[in-house]
Amino acid sequence: MTHDTAQDIIDRMDQLLDEERRALLDGDLEAVGTLMERKGAMIDALNALDPGATNRAQSLKSKAQRNQALLDGALEGMRLVTGRLTALRRIRRTLETYDRSGQKTSVSDVIEHKVEKRA
């Protein structure tokens, strides 16, 4: 990247942000991870540019913010799924009922998961 012009670096970062957006919208988290590594190198290259060139890179800011919002949404969705799966596992292991007075009672390990082999 040492021989690249400032505009080349900015253009490549612009393309990288577009790729990242497509990967986020497609839910391709593996590609997002790979792009993050490339993005780190591109950010280092942008930081090495002279201040006049970085002013031209301000157009990338809105794309980076858009992608950050998508990434935040994906992370929130993953947290919600994790919480839901945890609740489902808890439900499978316990039985919750109410007694005559309306008090909640939990009975743990009600269901045994066994496999029976028959010849």
pLDDT tens, residue by residue, 67-103: 999 999 999 999 999 999 998 887 777 778 888 899 9
Closest among 54, 50, 56, 60 to 16, alpha carbons compared:
60
Mean pLDDT, the chain, integer = 85
CB atoms within 10 A of CB 19: 16
Let me know if 67 is exposed, middle or buried by CB neighbors in 10 A (0-12, 13-18, 19+): buried
pLDDT single digits (tens) 29-46: 899 999 999 999 988 888
Q: How confident is the model at residue 6 (pLDDT cuts 50, 70, 90)?
A: confident
Taking residue 15's Cβ as centre, other Cβ atoms within 10 Å add up to 11
- Kindly state the average pLDDT of the residues 6-29: 92
Residue 10 near residue 60, CB atoms below 8 Å: yes
How much is the pLDDT for 117?
76
